[in-house]
Structure 1
Amino acid sequence: MTLDLADIIRVIRKRVRLMVCIFLIAVFVAGVISFLIPPTYEAETTLRIKQPKDLADSLLADVPIGNTLVTQQLMSTYAEILKSRTVVEDMIVKTQSGKSKKVRYEDMLDRITTEPVKDTEILKIKVQAGSPKEAKSGTNTLVDCFLARLTTLVRSEDAAVGDFIGERLIEAKQDLDRAEDALEQFKRQQQIVAPEAETQALVDNLSKLNELKAENTVNLAASRARLESAQKQISQEKGEFIADSPLIEQYKAKLADLEVELVSLLPNYTDKHPKVIATRAEIEETRNKLNTEIARVINAETPSMNPIYQGLLQGKIQAEVEIAAANAQTAALNKITTEGEEDLTKLPAKEQDLARLMRDDSLAQDIYVMLAKRREEAKISEVMQPTDVQIVDRAVLPDKPIKPNKRMNILMGAFLGLLAGSGLAFALEYLYKTINNGDDIDYYLDLPVLGNIPDFEQSAAMDQRRLRKQIGKLIPKNEKEEKA
């Protein structure tokens, strides 16, 4: 059976009361629910995600489409770190310390939204809460916890090196005090004012060698600390990574040979000697090529462009290179020092003792000064180390709630009520096809109506009700006339 416009109008006229009732009920329910739902406020902050310069140049060398892909991957990476359990739970502790019932991590995660702005380095962060103050505080605290976590990840290697240098500095100060006391006591006992020229030359040479050995020892220990820290974090992130590149091994071997050559030149030449300058320039060039190759291998072997993970991998491989070079330097320095010790044995016994004490004192001074300098450099590096994330705008108090949208809810309720009322009206019309009046006979049977039999019982009941109403109106009026 097909419907035309006349049928639709007829059904609407027939069921208009039902449709209006359902419409009003739906609007009323939507309005009540909208006013009963507690309001939800949302605060927003924006961050700028910069590409790390140390990795970007080398890592993007093989990317033909520019930096857009890398920027998007950086956004996704930092968004996941921001939503990590460590960051979110830290934010929950700081914002809800005084509350008896704290929000669970999973529930808080549903309130956090990250949205990168297309074709920019901007990342929007939104946090929802039950009040404007909580929304603002939660958003700003979340960003602070996120930046603190990034700082911890990025500076972990520097912290490990700084801790090692701090411990070694205390030991170096004690060694320096003992060496100075021993030298002073020996000079006083032997009544020596100044050593012989030959002894002084040997002491200076051995002191320089020992200074190089001490510096090499510190560098070796620092590299091992960085390697241990990087390996620990890599194992926590994604497991072990092995860089299998013949070119890396070639550069590592060449760098070790150049470091040994430099060590053999320093005892005999000054820093401004052409041979020393040329060797150091070649070492720098080899290091740059090695770093480029390391970055290329990391970019090829790791499908994820996680900058933190790649930085850990690069730091790990560089630490391994530094350890290999330091070990080669140690072997060369030990050999040269042994030759110097043999020359020292040719001196008289008294001069030998004096030379050794002077050497120990000079070495202790050099080690202490070097460690103190390295410690200050580590502190400065830790404080001044740049971050790839900058806060553009902090969150402010939101003016109005984002939920519930009362106007939209009422409009939606009205639409659903109208839809439900119309649907029910047409369903009743075509499911229950009963003949109630002459119009139904004309519509369904297409027959002329000659007459109808009235319902006398219903008419009598209606007449009785009408009569009672009229009597009720007349009785009070007669009573008023009698009283008057």
Structure 2
Amino acid sequence: MEETISLKELMETLRKRLSLIISITLIAVMTSGIISYFVLTPIYQSSTQLLVNQAKNENALYSYNEIQTNLQLINTYSVIIKSPAILDKVIDELDLDMTTSQLNEKISVTSEKNSQVVNVSVQDPNPYVAAEIANTVAQVFKKEITQLMNVDNVSILAEATVTPNQSPVKPKPLLNIAIAMVVGLMTGIGLAFLLEYLDNTIKTEQDIEKHLELPVLGVISMIEDQQAEKSVSRADRKAKLRGETIGS
């Protein structure tokens, strides 16, 4: 016999397990908020920009081939910037208490498509340290690239700075809380349907007809204590009235 679930049954299941769904959602939101605000360390980001361009006379025009050469060099420069040849000198100059691989993880190098500008971004719990590392990486790279590749086509376009009341790039508490709310809501709904699916107790006359395949001849309704007391009181009053009527 094929079973079908109506929308009314689904809504009834959600209504019956509403407290469970709300509890799980609130727990997920509170846990995410506590972790985001009090456990995770804020990470700040500072960026500096490098311009890859051949030094030319002010009155000279840039040729297409030279621009394409600079664009192709950017990929090479991105690798060199994060290489030990640059990072080791940055660690020595700033006297950083970290390894080359640890510093490498803090640095990201990006460039816009068909752009001669390279962005060097550094993330660190201290915004001033992040800015100092970014500027030092740019300066060391500009100096060392002339010896590594025998070219002088890199200039610092913009230095990394720390703005007042700078916001961390991660964690993002509001985003984490929103994600936790959605995950908690989905988990609560899924758990509600799972509990309903595992619950094989008989609750209604329809369950008897479905499981026993027998017709229901009668139903004994549940009467609450207050309703029972009211019914007894009403019956007592009627009995007294009948007794008084017969006695008169």
**What TM-score, normalized by structure 2, do the two folds share?**
0.75
Is 2:144 the counterpart of 1:149?
yes
Is 2:104 the counterpart of 1:109?
yes
Identity fraction in percent = 28
Q: Which runs of 5+ in 2 are unaligned?
A: 57-62, 230-248
Question: Residue 52 of structure 1: CA displacement?
Answer: 7.6
Q: Which runs of 5+ in 1 are unaligned?
A: 54-59, 154-307, 312-385, 464-484
Is 2:204 the counterpart of 1:438?
yes
| Aligned equivalents of 2:160, 2:132: Cα separation in 1 | 8
1:393 matched to which residue of 2?
A: 158
1:227 matched to which residue of 2?
A: none
CA deviation vs aligned residue, 1:8-62 (integer Å, no higher than 9, x gap): 2122112111111111111011001101111000001111112588xxxxxx9xx
In structure 2, relative to structure 1, the CA distance for the partners of 1:26 and 1:122 (3 Å cut) is same
Of 41, 49, 54, the residue aligned with 1:38 is 41
CA deviation vs aligned residue, 1:264-314 (integer Å, no higher than 9, x gap): xxxxxxxxxxxxxxxxxxxxxxxxxxxxxxxxxxxxxxxxxxxx3xx6xxx
Which of 1 and 2 has greater Rg?
1
In structure 2, relative to structure 1, the CA distance for the partners of 1:50 and 1:428 (3 Å cut) is same
Question: Residue 2 of structure 1: CA displacement?
Answer: 4.6
8 A contact 2:209–2:216 mirrored in 1: no
The one-letter code of the counterpart of 1:438 is T
Is 2:120 the counterpart of 1:125?
yes
In structure 2, relative to structure 1, the CA distance for the partners of 1:438 and 1:96 (3 Å cut) is farther
**What TM-score, normalized by structure 1, do the two folds share?**
0.40
The one-letter code of the counterpart of 2:114 is D
1:91 matched to which residue of 2?
A: 90
CA deviation vs aligned residue, 1:231-266 (integer Å, no higher than 9, x gap): xxxxxxxxxxxxxxxxxxxxxxxxxxxxxxxxxxxx
8 A contact 1:442–1:449 mirrored in 2: no
SS at match of 1:46: strand
| Aligned equivalents of 2:68, 2:13: Cα separation in 1 | 59
| Aligned equivalents of 2:26, 2:123: Cα separation in 1 | 33
8 A contact 1:40–1:128 mirrored in 2: yes
Question: Residue 392 of structure 1: CA displacement?
Answer: 0.8
8 A contact 2:54–2:152 mirrored in 1: no
| Aligned equivalents of 1:113, 1:387: Cα separation in 2 | 23
2:135 matched to which residue of 1?
A: 140
User: Larger strand proportion, structure 1 or 2?
Assistant: 2
Of 173, 194, 211, the residue aligned with 1:427 is 194
Of 412, 432, 444, the residue aligned with 2:179 is 412
Q: How many residues align?
A: 213
User: Larger helix proportion, structure 1 or 2?
Assistant: 1
SS at match of 2:144: helix
SS at match of 2:108: strand
SS at match of 1:391: strand
Of 53, 64, 68, the residue aligned with 1:50 is 53
CA RMSD of aligned residues (A): 3.1
In structure 2, relative to structure 1, the CA distance for the partners of 1:132 and 1:450 (3 Å cut) is same
Question: Residue 152 of structure 1: CA displacement?
Answer: 3.0
The one-letter code of the counterpart of 1:142 is V
1:25 matched to which residue of 2?
A: 27
In structure 2, relative to structure 1, the CA distance for the partners of 1:410 and 1:397 (3 Å cut) is same
In structure 2, relative to structure 1, the CA distance for the partners of 1:94 and 1:66 (3 Å cut) is closer
The one-letter code of the counterpart of 1:144 is Q
